[in-house]
Structure formats: structure tokens, C-alpha cells
Amino acid sequence: MTVTAPTGAAAAIPLLREQAPRIERERRLTPEAVAALEDAGALTLSRPERFGGVEADLGTQFGELCAVARGDGSAGWIASLFSVGGFFAGLFDDRAQDEVFANPKARVAGVFSPTGVLKPVDGGYRLTGRWGWNTGCRHAHWDTLAAIVEGSGAPPEVRIALVRMEELAIADDWDPSGLAGTGSATVTCEDVFVPAHRTLLTMDALQERYASEANRDRPLFRTAFFPFVLVASMGAPVGMAQAAMDVFLERLPGRQITYTHHADQSEAAVTHLQVAEAAARTTAAELLSRDLARRLDEAAAEGRTLTVAERAAIRGEVGLVVRECRTAVELLADASGASSIQRTVPIQRIARDMRALSIHAALSYTTNLEVYGRVLVGVDPLTPFL
């Protein structure tokens, strides 16, 4: 198995931390942040090698995406979604890839909830719809949007359409309490033509019936689709938990614990317990994430199809990674005291970003464990997203 060398996203951490308040305030990445991440190669990790990309395996991607999120949680989540988008574009018909990757900086966003309609016409479809939660749409060049094919019956046929961003309108409707800088606004379009080669059946993607011939023997593009989506998302929570520890320790020296005799918080036993537990939980999450990436990379390199049990385990363990990271961040946020609610103290933003990420539908601890548990006891998982 080929392992691509890291591209150096860690170098962007200082700039991302400096820019983080502005990123949150403006509800999108700053031009400086985008430039730094482009220079590091962190926004195009899944770009096919045949188009000059690094085509990084998941193990490498995890390390790079951790570093981005360690600088800023919103930047980390955007980079993760662009990793997924580049991977997904690499599964489409090769003609579609030629269009997308003609731009060496092409970034692909996406929404997999089918809130649009595709009307069949000669040569393709006419797309109309409205898609919320479109992370990174303000920094993307292309979007992958799920839609129901008109007249396809019951159950309806769902396809993913690959659309140029200039054909979409972006609403100014994103103003959340966490991950504000992701710019996950709603996009809309009306009667946009999408050629057939720029669509892919959702069920074909979920069952690894990919359209690309050129990438068919490339390990990255043999990876199981939904497990890739899940594991490529793990750099964000782990990086945020690491960032929480960084900023907590930076602020610790000389802090008192008010209404106690502790003139230095670092001398208090309760602080030792909080820091140690947060560190252990973060390390456990990192190790499990790296193992998840290893499992997927090895299966893809071998050309082996994952079993339902393996897929369910990945989904359940992803939920556990996120829960461990959220717990670690909350421990440190609590230990930071009431003064940390000021917006000038970074840990309050990290805690809000982490909570927002942890309740994402694909990363939900309870939902993912239920799916895993159903498979463990031998009953229907009640979802095709495995």
C-alpha cells in the first residue's frame, strides 16, 4: 500500500488560530485561511493523482485534517468535506472528472439529502431544488447534490448531480451557535441542465458500483463510500480536542481558582484529574481513528469488499470517537472557569464547535451505536448508509 507523505497542514495552525475569531464572525473562511490551506494542499487531499493530485490514503488524510482542525474547527470541517467531495468526484464518469479537475484547485462540496428533483430530458436531467447545510459552498467550485428522479416510482430513484457553483444561488441563512465559519448555507437552483454523465445513483455509490474507469484500480477510489465519508470526518473532532488541550494549557499558568486557597490552578488535584482524563480520551479517539483509517486503506488496497458487520462497526466506532472528543473538550471547558465564556478566550468557541459537530446526523453517538448494535444482534440495521 502506498502512503503519501503529509503535505504540511500543521504549518497553517498559527494563522488559523489568529484568524479564527474573524472566521466565526464572517461565517466563512477568510481569504488568508483559504490561501494557507491551499498552499498546504489541505483542501484537495483526494484529488486524483492523474490530475496532479496527491490522492492521499485515509491514514495520511486523517493526520492532515487533524492539523487543520487543531488550528480552527470550522476550517477542519470544511477541509474534511472537501476531502469527501474530491473523493466522490473521483467516482463519477471520467468525462465528469475531466470537467471538475481541469481546475487544479477544484474544491467540491456536497449534500446527500435528496431535497431536489431531477426531471429526465434528452442527454440528462433538469435540476431544481433547495439544499441546506451545504458546508463550504462559498469556497467550492462544484457541488454534489442529491435529488429524486421525477417519475421514477416507489421507492424513488435518487441520483447525485454534479453541478457548477456558478449555476447555484447561495442564501445568507447560516448563523449558528457552533461551526459558524463553515458557511454551511442553503443553495438553490431552478431548471439547471445536468448531463447524464454528471450524475450517479446514490445506491450505486453506497454499494461501490462506481462509474470511473480510470480510477477503478486506484486504492483510494476503491474505498467503501459511506465508511470513507465517516472516517474522513474524524480529523475534525480529534483536532478540536487537541486544540482544546493546547489553549487550556497556554492559559493555565498563574490562574487562580476563585473562592478557594488555590493561588495556582496547576497545583490543584482536580485540575490534574481533568487534564489527564481529557488527554487520555483524546489519545483514545486518535488511536481509534487511525485504526479505522488503516482498516479502510487495507481493504481498498486489497480490493476487498467490507462486510455489513465491518461497516456497522465503523459507523458505531465513529460515534464513539466523536463522543470521546466532545467529553474531552467539555472537561477542559469546565476546568477553564467562568472567565472562559468571554469570546476572546478560544476554548468557548472550540466547545461550541465541538457540540455542533457531535450532533451531526452522520456522527450521532446514539444513532450510530444503535445501527451497530442492531447488526451485532442479527437484525436489520434499518439504513442503507453503511
What DSSP assignment string belongs to 151-169? T--SSPPEEEEEEEGGGSE
C-alpha 15/C-alpha 18 separation (Å) is 5
pLDDT of 205 > 70? The answer is: yes
Under 8 Å between Cβ of 100 and 205: no
Nearest to 159 by CA among 201, 198, 193: 201
User: Residue 224 is placed in which grid cell?
Assistant: 467503501
User: Residue 322 is placed in which grid cell?
Assistant: 466523536
> What is the per-residue pLDDT across 220-259, written as a single tens digit (0 to 9) for each?
999 999 999 999 999 999 999 999 999 999 999 989 888 8
For the chain, give the mean pLDDT.
96
pLDDT of 30 > 90? The answer is: yes
C-alpha 183/C-alpha 178 separation (Å) is 11
Long-range contacts of 29-34 (CB under 8 A, 24+ apart): 29/74, 29/75, 29/78, 29/138, 29/139, 29/181, 29/183, 33/72, 33/75, 34/139
Same fold, 9-104 and 108-201: no
- pTM of the complete model beyond 0.85: yes
The whole-number average pLDDT for the span 270-298 is 98
Nearest to 114 by CA among 180, 48, 206, 50: 206
Long-range contacts of 41-44 (CB under 8 A, 24+ apart): 41/7, 41/8, 41/9, 42/7, 42/9, 42/12, 42/67, 42/68, 42/79, 43/78, 43/79, 43/82, 43/105, 43/107, 43/139, 44/82, 44/86, 44/105, 44/106, 44/107
pLDDT of 262 > 70? The answer is: yes
Q: Which CATH superfamily is domain 9-104 in?
A: Acyl-CoA dehydrogenase/oxidase, N-terminal domain (1.10.540.10)
Nearest to 79 by CA among 91, 69, 92, 70: 69
- pLDDT at residue 228, as a whole number: 98
> What is the per-residue pLDDT across 93-115, written as a single tens digit (0 to 9) for each?
999 999 999 999 999 999 999 99
Q: How confident is the model at residue 5 (pLDDT cuts 50, 70, 90)?
A: very low
Record: fold of 108-201: Butyryl-CoA Dehydrogenase, subunit A; domain 2 (2.40.110)
> What is the per-residue pLDDT across 60-93, written as a single tens digit (0 to 9) for each?
999 999 999 999 999 999 999 999 999 999 999 9
Structural domain boundaries in the chain? 9-104, 108-201, 225-376
Q: Please return the burial class of 17, using the count of CB atoms within 10 Å of its CB with bins 0-12, 13-18 and 19+.
A: middle
225-376 under CATH 1.20.140.10, yes or no: yes
Under 8 Å between Cβ of 335 and 274: yes
Q: How confident is the model at residue 7 (pLDDT cuts 50, 70, 90)?
A: low
